Chain A
Amino acid sequence: MSPVEPREDLAGDEFARHARGVLEESVTRIDGRVRSRLNQARHAALEHARRRPSFWSRFTLMPAAGAVAAAVLVAFVLWPHPRPQDLATEGARATVEDLDLIADGDALDLVSDETDGAFYEWAVEQSENNETSS
């Protein structure tokens, strides 16, 4: 239990009433510039509220949105996807090729030989030639 027990009825005590009176008086003294800016801000907010789509118009848009979502779903289902086993086979083949490269000592020598730029140019040309011929 806290040492000082708050009391609900404090809102009604003399001190709080006096403070309220002083604060309310200070509100009445807010100058014209501030009042004008608050007025403008309120009108801007109301304009936003007016331009919002109403509760009912949201429902009128629902059929169109539903039709678009259904079309996207049908297109996704009908689109030819690669079968999972094809992907698995392809992945396994790539892994085996990578393993071969790593196990091949010559290939690692080639990779470490950074100065041999002519070889890499040749290799690129070869692969481009292979692609055009096939």
Chain B
Amino acid sequence: MPSATHGDVELSDSTTNSQTRALNQFLAGVELKAFKIAQAALRHEDDALDAVQDAMLQLARAYADRPAEEWKPLFYRILENRIRDMQRRRTVRGRVISWLPFRGEDDDDEQDPIAQAPSGEPQPPRKLEINETMEALERALENLPRRQQQVFMLRTLEGLDVAETATAMGCSEGSVKTHYFRALQALRAQLGEFWT
């Protein structure tokens, strides 16, 4: 085994292991929030999962060597690119399908009636209130323009600062501030009744 005889290889093996551990920790820390961000943008659970999975693979393949503090903006940059690609593909597919004379129903969009049925279990008022607030916020986020939604999610949920958000979105810091401000204004206007 070369690692037993060659110092450099041994060094590289231990470096790789610690890097892999750090990457595991990083990905475990961002995966749920990343899923939530992708789901808000794509409005489809499986598409959101695919986008996050692709972003993880791409980060591991191309940027694992980079310093760990660079991973977060890089990861979200990759994720945003992936989301944009999926949205473009969806738009093209939608246009093509709208031209087809016989278009069947999309099986993926069919909901399981059993899973959708109300559980019958009474919900405590607090939980119900949170659910309503959550649904209202998710609806309001869906109505935001894409860039505003993106900035709001990255800054509010993921807690990226202005510079990191700018890196993740591939735009200027001024643009991030403007989008964030407009997103807050729009959300306030929509959610006033729930949030005052």
Contacts and interface: CB of A to CB of B under 8 A. Distances in A.
A63 to B, nearest CB: 14
A49 B130 contact: no
B4 interface: no
A43 to B, nearest CB: 8
B52 A19 contact: no
Contact of B20 (A20, A26, A34, A46): A46
Given A6-B178, A23-B36, A41 B9 contact: no
A27 B181 CA distance: 24
B12 A54 contact: yes
User: SS class of chain A's interface: helix, strand, loop or mixed?
Assistant: helix
A49 B187 contact: no
A7 interface: yes
Interface residues of A, number: 39
B146 interface: no
Interface residues of B, number: 52
Contact of B64 (A19, A20, A52, A60): A52
A49 B24 CA distance: 10
B18 to A, nearest CB: 12
A23 B157 contact: yes
A50 B12 CA distance: 11
Interface of B: 8-9, 11-13, 15-16, 19-20, 23-24, 27-28, 31-33, 35-36, 45, 49, 52-53, 56-57, 59-61, 64-65, 130, 133-134, 137-138, 152-153, 155-157, 159, 162, 174, 177-178, 180-182, 184-185, 187-188, 195
